[in-house]
Amino acid sequence: MTKADAQPEDVSERTVGILLAGGLSRRYGSPKAFARYEGRLFHERAYEALSAACRLVTVSSAASLAERFPGAYDVQVDLPEVSGRGPLAGICTVMRRIPAERYLVLPCDMPRVGPRTIRRLAELAQTRPEADVAAVRAGDAFVPLLSVWRAGLADVLEQEISADRLSVMKLLAKLNTVWLDASRIDEDLRVFDNFNTPDAN
């Protein structure tokens, strides 16, 4: 096969999706992963979206919630050394357990994000190979957990967690982070809203 005949590179084969669904969601009143938007559970919508661009989708969840997800899901509970330390712990755990070249992260509380949006995010992130993280910015609003992380960052995440530095934004400020314009990913910026209370939808 000549170079001209080669098929386009399949980014999905080297990308693992991380569905962040470990929060107990006290402000929401119940775990948001099991809330509904337009008739479907938040985690179902997020899983479907990530599956559009990832060879494997894994759910990062708390031990108390893990058995509530469908048996077909790969569910990862935090490693003991980072357990319960927020989203960085979930990302770190998946990086330690599942080798990949990149990790596409989506929190479960963004139920308007669909497959098209995720595919476009993956495409844009691929154009910035120099970035440690490619995350989304919608105007003045940062969406740090809708993001693509390169491999090899697990040690950095674990160091931050061990030092009790759990802010995702502060970590991204230390890394080579590229902020992608949300309007290049989806023209409807409502897609990037987090649902923090039951009346948000």
Confidence at 12, pLDDT banded by 50, 70, 90? low
- Pull the structure tokens for residue 63: 């031990």
Q: Which residue in the block uniquely carries the two structure tokens 């070249």? A: 101
CATH code of the domain in which 115 resides: 3.90.550.10
- Whether residue 5 lies inside any domain: the answer is no
Instruction: Give percent of the chain with pLDDT exceeding 90.
Output: 82
Q: What is the C-alpha separation between 85 and 164, in angstroms, rounded?
A: 8
Which range among 4-8, 35-39, 107-111, 140-144 shows the weakest confidence by mean pLDDT?
4-8
Q: Which structural domain range is residue 67 located in? A: 12-193
Taking residues 13-38, report their average pLDDT: 83
In a domain, 17, yes or no: yes
Whether residue 3 lies inside any domain: the answer is: no
Provide mean pLDDT across the span 172-188. 97
Q: How many domains does the chain have?
A: 1
Give the pLDDT band (50/70/90) at residue 6.
Answer: very low
The verdict on residue 2 lying in a domain is no
Residue 6 maps to a domain: no
Asked whether residue 153 is assigned to any structural domain, the reply reads yes
> Considering the domain boundaries, does residue 88 fall inside one?
yes
Q: Own/partner pairs for 159-167, CB < 8 Å, 24+ apart?
A: 160/88, 161/82, 161/85, 161/88, 161/89, 161/92, 162/81, 166/85, 166/86, 166/88
pLDDT in tens, 129-138: 999 999 999 9
